[in-house]
């Protein structure tokens, strides 16, 4: 996927007229800033040949509701939560485009735990080709990426939480948590990872605080676990969701052919969670059933026949003898 029109000169309104935007969206009209931790300095202007060192410095230069853009090359390491708080402020990775584990990424550094890695409190933002990698050797509930702003778009992003064996052994671990605002759009994203074994009944994705109408299209949810109680999706509190959560053409892949333990259920929801989960042309591998309790089954709808049958869409292993 080509992210940008390649014929540009003096990109950014502070360097000249902006001539490109994210594929499928309107061209950006605000200021542009570049971040390169290896070659940049926070004393620089943030231009393409004079990049900043940290995302925090770039974010501080952006103006809310101005369609400003931050471009990231390589890895940006965080020693504290990156709070993305300015509406219509966008973050684009410039490393090669990849649905699985993009190489332009945000990661942790140091030994002092903090959570979440990224907290998006703004709305109307576009995140594209950005990875996030989070996990400390600490027995605490750790969240990689949290969105409470709503109305944000994620394309080709990776949310890699519980990326440490100790973190993956806590029931409160999450790769992505969505709250309040809702109406977020995720396309071609990787949510979760299968390189660290999850040894507790934690969850890849959590819906909380009445979040409505989130859409996931062509997303991958990898997992590796030795606890059958681990989950792909949880909405365990009262009024966790509102309206619907739509999963279209998504793959929930528990690596059972690579030492992982079969999950008992993919989804658990409280009887009073509210809303519904709709699974359209989506497949779960390495899991016994989409849901195993009556409360969850009543709130999960699957594109199959009959539509309330929560076993539809489960991959079946065929052995030829």
**pLDDT tens sequence across 293-309:** 888 888 888 885 444 44
pLDDT score, position 10 = 33
6-10, 17-21, 109-113, 133-137: which has the highest mean pLDDT?
133-137
- Pick from 21, 155, 152: nearest CA to 98: 155
Distance between CA 113 and CA 206 in Å, rounded?
21
Side-chain half-sphere CA neighbours of 156 within 13 A: 21
Coil, helix or strand at residue 59 = helix
> Is 60 exceeded by the pLDDT of residue 97?
yes
Six token digits for residue 47: 């231009």
Q: What is the mean pLDDT of residues 185-192?
A: 97
Query: 267 - beta bridge partners?
Result: 233
> Is 80 exceeded by the pLDDT of residue 205?
yes
Six token digits for residue 56: 């925090």
Q: How far is CA 48 from the centre of its chain?
A: 27
Residues 31-60: tens digit of each pLDDT? 999 999 999 999 999 999 999 999 999 999
Distance between CA 49 and CA 224 in Å, rounded?
41
pLDDT score, position 175 = 98
Q: What is the mean pLDDT of residues 207-218?
A: 96
Q: What is the mean pLDDT of residues 114-132?
A: 97
> Is 50 exceeded by the pLDDT of residue 16?
no
Q: Is 44 or 100 the better-scoring residue by pLDDT?
A: 44
27-41, 53-67, 88-102: which has the highest mean pLDDT?
53-67
pLDDT score, position 304 = 58
Residue 317's Cβ-count burial label (10 Å; 0-12, 13-18, 19+) is: exposed
Distance between CA 98 and CA 275 in Å, rounded?
32
pLDDT score, position 312 = 63
Q: Do 301 and 278 contact (CB within 8 A), yes or no? A: yes
Q: Do 232 and 204 contact (CB within 8 A), yes or no? A: yes
Six token digits for residue 105: 């990424």
Six token digits for residue 83: 């709070």
- Pick from 131, 20, 155, 128: nearest CA to 74: 131
Query: How high does pLDDT run on average in the chain?
Result: 87
pLDDT score, position 100 = 73
Distance between CA 53 and CA 61 in Å, rounded?
13
Q: Is 1 or 206 the better-scoring residue by pLDDT?
A: 206
Q: What is the mean pLDDT of residues 19-39?
A: 75
Contacts of 2 (CB under 8 A, 6+ apart): 23
């Amino acid at each position: 996927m080509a992210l940008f029109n390649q014929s540009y000169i003096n990109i950014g309104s502070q360097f000249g007229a902006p001539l490109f935007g994210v594929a499928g969206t309107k061209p950006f009209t605000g200021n542009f800033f570049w971040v390169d931790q290896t070659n940049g300095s926070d004393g620089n202007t943030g231009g393409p040949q004079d990049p900043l060192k940290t995302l925090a410095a770039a974010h501080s230069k952006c103006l809310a509701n101005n369609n400003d853009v931050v471009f990231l090359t390589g890895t940006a390491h965080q020693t504290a939560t990156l709070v993305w708080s300015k509406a219509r402020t966008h973050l684009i990775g410039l490393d090669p485009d990849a649905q699985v584990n993009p190489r332009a990424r945000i990661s942790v550094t140091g030994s002092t735990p903090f959570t979440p890695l990224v907290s998006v409190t703004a709305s109307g933002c576009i995140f594209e080709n950005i990875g996030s990698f989070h996990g400390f050797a600490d027995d605490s509930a750790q969240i990689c990426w949290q969105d409470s702003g709503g109305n944000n778009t994620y394309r080709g992003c990776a949310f890699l939480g519980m990326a440490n064996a100790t973190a993956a052994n806590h029931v409160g671990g999450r790769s992505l948590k969505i709250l309040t605002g809702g109406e977020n759009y995720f396309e071609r994203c990787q949510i979760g990872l299968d390189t660290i074994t999850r040894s507790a009944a934690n969850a890849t994705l959590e819906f909380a605080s009445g979040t409505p109408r989130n859409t996931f299209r062509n997303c991958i949810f990898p997992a590796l676990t030795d606890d059958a109680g681990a989950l792909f999706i949880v909405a365990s509190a009262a009024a966790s969701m509102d309206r619907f959560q739509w999963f279209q053409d998504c793959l929930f892949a528990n690596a059972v052919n690579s030492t992982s333990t079969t999950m008992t259920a993919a989804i658990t929801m409280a009887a009073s969670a509210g809303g519904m989960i709709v699974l359209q042309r989506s497949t779960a591998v390495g899991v016994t059933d989409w849901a195993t309790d009556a409360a969850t089954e009543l709130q999960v709808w699957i594109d199959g026949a009959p539509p309330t049958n929560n076993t539809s869409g489960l991959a079946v292993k065929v052995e030829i003898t």
